[in-house]
């Protein structure tokens, strides 16, 4: 990857990012604050979309790789997938025949050693998340039939996300879970959507209070 980048400041930044990712993979200091339990700055959905859309990719000579990296960030931000789940998706998993969503079919959920769980994920064609879907589909057109959507290693993917945003991949999954839990107001439903085994593990994402249920708590009839 470094040999494909000829901008000096970008190479320096990439070397720094690669060191951080290596420490994380090795279980060193860089990994200490990557867990969702350490993420406290939950942001508005529109701000998260802005972060993903405005993030600058590694300045590859091949512009298609810049499109790929922007799409990877958009993909995990829009779906909340783990990075390894995102890397398992193939071009043929996309169903573009629904009017409101691009559906990513049969994504294998990780961390289920005793069972195989397959889930569908959606990319909205309208609304706040549309810019993320647009970035993904721009890259989608460059991918050959039957090929992985993102033909890069897990370590490379981590390098890309940290380089572009300064944040770990888990940050974007955590933000998506937080939004869904507080919008749907059901950890059971969100756990089912994302293939999370125990809904109790995402209870802490809910930040609501009685003020959100004024009509329910004081019914007129």
Measured CA angle at 56 (ends 1, 12), to 5 deg: 50
**pLDDT tens digit sequence for 66-120:** 999 999 999 999 999 999 999 999 999 999 888 899 999 999 998 766 778 899 9
DSSP single-letter state for residue 146: T
Tell me how far apart the alpha carbons of residues 184 and 80 are, in angstroms, rounded to a whole number.
15
DSSP single-letter state for residue 98: S
The whole-number pLDDT of residue 82 equals 94
Cβ–Cβ < 8 Å for 70, 131: no
**Alpha carbon of 83 to those of 34, 60, 61, 129, 207: distances in Å?**
13, 21, 25, 19, 26
More confident residue, 34 or 195: 195
Helices (H), 26-148: 45-54, 63-79, 83-88, 130-140
Q: Which domains does the chain have, with CATH numbers?
A: 2-204 (1.10.443)
Rg from Cα positions in the chain: 18
| pLDDT surpassing 70 at residue 140 | yes
Torsion sign over Cα 121, 122, 128, 132 = positive
Length of the chain counted residue by residue: 221
**pLDDT tens digit sequence for 35-71:** 554 566 788 999 999 999 999 999 888 999 999 999 9
Model confidence at 221, in pLDDT bands (50, 70, 90)? confident
Measured in degrees and rounded to the nearest 5, phi and psi for residue 119 equal: -130, 150
Cβ–Cβ < 8 Å for 106, 195: no
């Amino acid at each position: 990857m470094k040999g494909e980048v000829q901008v000096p400041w970008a190479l320096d930044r990439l070397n720094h990012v690669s060191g951080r990712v290596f420490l994380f993979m090795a279980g060193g200091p860089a990994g200490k604050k990557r867990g969702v339990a350490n993420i406290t700055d939950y942001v508005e959905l529109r701000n998260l979309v802005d972060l993903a859309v405005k993030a600058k990719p590694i300045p590859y000579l091949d512009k298609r790789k810049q499109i790929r990296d922007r799409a990877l960030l958009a993909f995990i931000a829009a779906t909340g997938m783990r990075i390894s789940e995102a890397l398992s998706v193939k071009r043929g998993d996309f169903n573009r025949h629904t009017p409101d969503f691009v559906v990513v079919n049969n994504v294998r959920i990780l961390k289920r050693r005793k069972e195989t769980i397959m889930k569908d994920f959606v990319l909205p064609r309208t609304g706040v998340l549309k810019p993320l879907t647009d970035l993904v589909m721009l890259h989608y057109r460059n991918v050959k039939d039957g090929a992985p959507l993102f033909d890069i290693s897990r370590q490379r993917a981590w390098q890309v996300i940290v380089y572009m945003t300064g944040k770990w991949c888990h940050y974007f999954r955590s933000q998506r879970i937080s939004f869904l839990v507080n919008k749907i107001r059901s950890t059971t439903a969100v756990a089912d959507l994302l293939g999370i085994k125990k809904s109790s593990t995402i209870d802490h994402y809910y930040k609501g209070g009685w003020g959100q249920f004024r009509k329910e708590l004081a019914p007129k009839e």
